[in-house]
Amino acid sequence: MKQRTAETLPASTYIGSNIYKKSNELILSLSTPTLMTNKLLLISTMRAGWEEDGKLSARITGDELHKIFDRDKNSGSFYESIKKACYGKQNDKKTHNGTLMGFMVVMENKKDKSFSAHNLIMDADFRKGVLSVTFNPSMKDYIIDMKNNYTCLDANEMMSMSSIYSYRLLEIFRQNVSIQEWLMRQNEVDNAGKPYYIQYDFTHLKLMLGIIDGSSNKVLEVLQKRNKTYRDVEDFDQSSMKEFSNFRRNVLDVAKKELDEKASIRFEYHLVRSGRGGKTTAVDFYIYTNEKNCKKVKTEEREIKISEQNMDDMIDELRDMIDEKLPTKDLRQIVLATDGDLEKAKDAYRIAKEAGEIHNLTGFLLTAIRDKYQNTKKKNGTYDKMMQHTDEEYSEFFAKY
């Protein structure tokens, strides 16, 4: 029984963290990785580090992969699925399409009319029970130690997705909502209970979901033409998704159902048509907090953390760290808010000390932990509470997209 319990722990137990920082460039890239490829990329990125030979690499053992994917160690098909995700099928003309080896990031700077395309992975091999992935060193700023232009994702949430379209829409929505939250926070706009709004051109959406291969030479050639529109590459869609009824049934409705069941956000959508009864040209998305799953996820994560670590010891450590005398019940709430990671509490307390006089220290710490305060620079007598980025960094980001 104990062995089964260990096997069903969240993927982050074996990956190392539940916080996954993904570059916005990668989220918005027009490539076609499969669901397994995306998940392997997530794990590899979180494990990435510099080797003695100067390579940026990640190593994951076969045992860890079985636990992360909750698969039987004796499953031969699992090895084949990992192999296929790395480099594709043998004797296949499109060997690297949708694989780690074929993951191409296309980046465009509209301001100076330039673009670049880079393969993200240089090597991937599985030897002696260990999967080794080596990243392109020119892409290091999008893999490790990112300082700006990234989105925080929940690794457990991402790994739970069973549809590639659910996976991609979840990270795309997260990236958009992160920006909108940041802007509203800057302008002190309260969006409580209201949905976040995103609209995507139908063809652009298919490019982002990999239905149309945005990294193919023919598509890239069209996209670089002056006055191009995304619909200029619509003819490259030779899949069944060309018919919107199929796209709606197999992509939108599948993803809507899965996010509603598993994710901390959910969405509704409306179709934009060209004239009354005309062809669908775009999709309006309305993103909501999925309250039932937020509560469920927080409860499960806290139970796991507390079952693994002694709550009394953590409260004592917190009491020693904080100069002010806080009631035990307050310290307990702070421990729970950190999900057992007291580094979050230390960071929040450092910010509190720099802020000066605070009337409700417990409330400040809980809010700082929840909202990921990072900036302690005073602004008009208050503190600029930013989620992830500086004004300069986001100005640069918006100039590119």
d(CA 177, CA 186) in angstroms, rounded, equals: 14
pLDDT band, residue 2 (cuts 50/70/90): very low
Structure tokens at 84: 């296929």
**Contacts for 398 with CB less than 8 Å, ≥ 6 apart:** none
pLDDT band, residue 395 (cuts 50/70/90): very low
Q: Compute the chain's Rg from CA coordinates.
A: 23
154-171 pLDDT, tens per residue?
Answer: 999 999 999 999 999 999
| Residues forming a β-bridge with 59 | 132
d(CA 200, CA 285) in angstroms, rounded, equals: 8
| DSSP state for residue 242 in the 8-state scheme | G
d(CA 274, CA 278) in angstroms, rounded, equals: 5
Which runs of E-coded beta strand occur in 291-385? 378-379, 382-383
d(CA 175, CA 23) in angstroms, rounded, equals: 9
How many CB atoms sit inside 10 A of residue 284's CB?
A: 13
172-222 pLDDT, tens per residue?
Answer: 999 998 888 777 777 766 666 788 899 998 888 888 898 887 767 777 777
pLDDT in the model for residue 243? 82
Could you identify the residue written with the tokens 């208050």? 382
pLDDT in the model for residue 379? 37
Structure tokens at 301: 């994560």
SS3 label, residue 59: strand
SS3 label, residue 151: strand
Q: Which residues in 324-350 are b (16+ Cβ under 10 Å) and which e? A: eebeeebbbebbbbbbbbbebbebbbe
Task: Using alpha carbons only, give the angle 41, 47, 50 rounded to the nearest 5 degrees.
Answer: 115
pLDDT exceeds cutoff 60 at 397: no
94-142 pLDDT, tens per residue?
Answer: 445 678 887 877 666 656 666 677 888 999 888 888 899 999 998 898 8
267-301 pLDDT, tens per residue?
Answer: 999 998 877 767 888 899 999 988 877 755 554 55
d(CA 203, CA 58) in angstroms, rounded, equals: 35
Amino acid at the residue 65: L
Residue 217 burial by CB count (10 A; 0-12/13-18/19+): exposed, middle or buried? exposed
CB 30 within 8 A of CB 214: yes
How many residues appear in the chain? 401
Largest CA distance in the chain: 68
